[in-house]
Amino acid sequence: MNYTQKWYDKPISKLILISISLTWMFPYIGFLLSSFREPDAIKQAAWWTSIFSGQIFTEFTFENYTEILFAEDLSRSFFNSFAVVIPSTIIPITIAAFAAYAFAFIDFKGKDLAFLFVIAMMIVPLQMSLIPLVSIMNKGAILFGLPIIPELKITGTFVSVWFAHTGFGLPLATFLLRDFMMGLPRSVIESAKIDGASHLTTFYRLALPLSFAGVAAFATFQFLWVYNDFLVANVFLGINPRNQVITSHVAQLTVGNYGEAWHLRTAGAVVSMVVPLIVFFSLQRFFIRGLIGGAVKG
Amino acid sequence: MRKSLIGLLLILSMVAVACGNSLEGQEVIYFGAPATDGPDGQAIQSSFDQFTEDTGIIVTYVGSENFESELLAQIEAGNPPNIALWPQPGTVRAQAEAGNLIPLEDLGVDLEEYRSNFSPYLVGLGEVDGVPYGGAHAVNLKSIVWYQPAEFDSRGYAIPDTWDEMIALADQIVAEGMTPFCFGMYSNGATGWLATDWMEDIMLRTGNGTTSYDQWVNHEIPFNDPIVKNAATYLSQIMHTDGYVVGGSDAIVSTFFGDAQNPMFERDGNGNPGCFMHRQASFIPGFWPEDAKEGLGTETTFFPFPDMEVPSDTVLGAGDMWAVLVNDEATQAVVDFMLSENYFDAIASDVAGTGSTRISAHIGFDTSKYWSPTTQKQADFLKAALAANVFRFDGSDNMPPEVGSGSFWSEMTELAVQGPGYIDTALDTIEKSWP
- pLDDT reported for residue B16: 46
Smallest Cα distance from A131 to chain B, Å: 6
Tell me B252's DSSP state: T
Q: Is the pLDDT of residue A257 over 50?
A: yes
| Residue B241: partners with Cβ closer than 8 Å, 6 or more residues away | B170
Three-state secondary-structure class, residue B360: strand
A263 neighbourhood in chain B, CB within 8 Å: none
Q: Report the DSSP beta bridge partners of residue B318.
A: B140
| Residue A219: partners with Cβ closer than 8 Å, 6 or more residues away | A89, A93, A283
Three-state secondary-structure class, residue B324: strand
Low-confidence ranges of chain B (pLDDT < 50): 1, 12, 14-20
More confidently predicted of A170 and A10: A170
What's the Cα-to-Cα distance from B329 to each of A184, B74, B336, rounded to whole Å?
63, 21, 11
B57 with B164, same domain?
Answer: no
B340 with B405, same domain?
Answer: no
Within a domain: residue B293? yes
Q: What is the pLDDT of residues A14-30, one digit of tens each?
A: 899 899 999 999 888 88
Within a domain: residue B13? no
Within a domain: residue B7? no
Question: What are the residues of chain B with a beta carbon less than 8 Å away from any beta carbon of chain A?
Answer: 29, 31, 33-41, 60, 62-66, 70, 73-74, 76-79, 81, 258-259, 286-287, 289-290
Interface test with A, best of B28, B29, B37, B287 (most A CBs within 10 A): B37
What's the Cα-to-Cα distance from A187 to each of A111, A191, A194, A215, B6, rounded to whole Å?
21, 6, 10, 22, 70
Q: Report the DSSP beta bridge partners of residue B300.
A: B296
Question: What are the residues of chain A with a beta carbon less than 8 Å away from any beta carbon of chain B?
Answer: 39-40, 43-44, 71, 130-131, 134-135, 137-139, 153, 155-156, 234-236, 238-241, 251-253, 255-261
B34 neighbourhood in chain A, CB within 8 Å: 257-258
- pLDDT reported for residue A296: 45
B178 with B281, same domain?
Answer: yes
Q: Is A155 within 8 Å of B287 when comparing Cβ atoms?
A: no
Q: What CATH number does the domain containing B82 carry?
A: 3.40.190.10
Q: Is A134 within 8 Å of B73 when comparing Cβ atoms?
A: yes
B107 with B211, same domain?
Answer: no
- pLDDT reported for residue B15: 46
A239 neighbourhood in chain B, CB within 8 Å: 29, 31, 62, 64, 70, 74, 81
B259 vs A43, A156, A236: nearest CB: A43
Contact call for residues A211 and A291 (beta carbons, < 8 A)? no
B258 neighbourhood in chain A, CB within 8 Å: 260
- pLDDT reported for residue A147: 77
- pLDDT reported for residue B204: 92
- pLDDT reported for residue A132: 86
More confidently predicted of A254 and B193: B193
Q: Is the pLDDT of residue A260 over 80?
A: no
- pLDDT reported for residue A102: 93
B170 with B73, same domain?
Answer: no
Q: What is the pLDDT of residues A138-181, one digit of tens each?
A: 887 777 777 777 777 788 889 999 999 999 999 999 999 998 89
Q: Is the pLDDT of residue A258 over 70?
A: no
Three-state secondary-structure class, residue B390: coil
Q: What ipTM does this complex have?
A: 0.75
- CA geometry: angle at B381 spanning B377 and B387, to 5°? 140
Percentage of chain A surpassing pLDDT 70? Answer: 92
What chain A holds in terms of domains, given with CATH numbers, is: 1-61 (no CATH), 71-297 (1.10.3720.10)
A126 neighbourhood in chain B, CB within 8 Å: none
**pLDDT category of residue A298 using cuts at 50, 70 and 90:** very low
B29 with B124, same domain?
Answer: yes
Q: What is the pTM of this model?
A: 0.78
Within a domain: residue B199? yes
**How many structural domains is chain B composed of?**
2
Contact call for residues B385 and B314 (beta carbons, < 8 A)? yes
CA atoms within 13 A on the CB side of B223: 26
A135 neighbourhood in chain B, CB within 8 Å: 76-78
More confidently predicted of B30 and A260: B30
Tell me B157's DSSP state: P
- pLDDT reported for residue B18: 44
B209 with B286, same domain?
Answer: yes
B81 vs A239, A253, A255: nearest CB: A239
B230 with B343, same domain?
Answer: no
Residue of A nearest to B35 (CA): A257
Smallest Cα distance from A98 to chain B, Å: 32
B277 with B156, same domain?
Answer: yes
Within a domain: residue B2? no
Q: B381 lies in which domain range?
A: 24-141+317-393
More confidently predicted of A296 and A25: A25
Q: Is A257 within 8 Å of B41 when comparing Cβ atoms?
A: yes
- pLDDT reported for residue A270: 86
Contact call for residues B357 and B146 (beta carbons, < 8 A)? no
- pLDDT reported for residue B331: 94
Within a domain: residue B307? yes
B35 with B50, same domain?
Answer: yes
Q: What is the pLDDT of residues A37-75, one digit of tens each?
A: 888 788 777 888 888 888 888 888 888 888 888 877 888
Within a domain: residue B356? yes
B290 with B331, same domain?
Answer: no
Residue of B nearest to A235 (CA): B73
Q: Report the DSSP beta bridge partners of residue B296.
A: B300
B208 with B235, same domain?
Answer: yes
Residue type, B434: W
**pLDDT category of residue A5 using cuts at 50, 70 and 90:** low
Alpha helices in B59-177 (DSSP H): 67-76, 89-97, 111-118, 120-124, 149-155, 163-175
Interface test with B, best of A138, A258, A263, A264 (most B CBs within 10 A): A258
